[in-house]
Amino acid sequence: MRAWMWAGLAMLLVAQGLCAQQAPLQLAESYQGEVQVEQYWISEKLDGVRGRWDGEQLQTRSGYPIRSPAWFTQGWPTQPMDGELWLGRGRFEQISALVRTSDAPEQDWQQVRFMVFDLPTHAGAFSERVAAMARLSEHGSDYLVAVPQFRLASTAALERELEQVVAAGGEGLMLHHQAARYQDGRNAALIKFKPYDDAEAVVVGYTAGRGKYQGLVGALVVEDEQGRRFRLGSGLSDAEREQPPALGVRVTYRYNGFTSSGLPRFARFLRERPVAR
């Protein structure tokens, strides 16, 4: 989920007097093309909102409660689960808006599925956790689904799978080593594999940083060749926030397709374009 969306959600919840509860949160590394594919479980990287089930309630990745209907989580196990709230491919904006709305009509949740991809408190290797997740269907909930996990025999097969998933509207793939334990923070045994597009835009302004970036640049405001303006905050180093690319400078950013409004999706600053001298 986009950082500014989470920031807005967090401020809303803080205003309501709710406090985040910190829990172990495993994060993936990016694919570098140097893995033994046959040792990994593979799944589609779902285009949704990450959710945490603590055994009693759904939470955001930051620990804030998600106000889903009571029937949505009825019958779920007391075991903590890590997953994705998902409406289907290409529907990120809808699920994001639903999660951020505290008084959404209950029927809006009927198409949502909590796609479980890990069990944070399970002490076993990932292969054991895959087997445990396969038994989640025994709880009889239509809204609780284990993310399908499968194997591939080679890098070539992995690349073909990525092409097929992306062609069908998916975001990418996740690779999880069969022997990996769940751990807090970045885990080199958990890998995300997805394509990136890149393009260039001109810096036309800045936004002010907040929190730890107080006094620095929060994001670059850029304009692309089509005249569309958007922000690039993710990807900026502390040094670049202190001395950002100058107005009029062309920068390169990477992104994953486009939103329904035509803006680059998950736009991330990559580098300043070298200026010919």
CB 35 within 8 A of CB 152: no
CA dist 189 and 179 (Å) reads: 9
Identify the CA nearest to 82 among candidates 51, 112, 109: 51
Catalytic residue among 45, 192, 194, 212: 45
Residue 192 annotated as catalytic = no
Residues in the chain: 277
Catalytic residues: 45
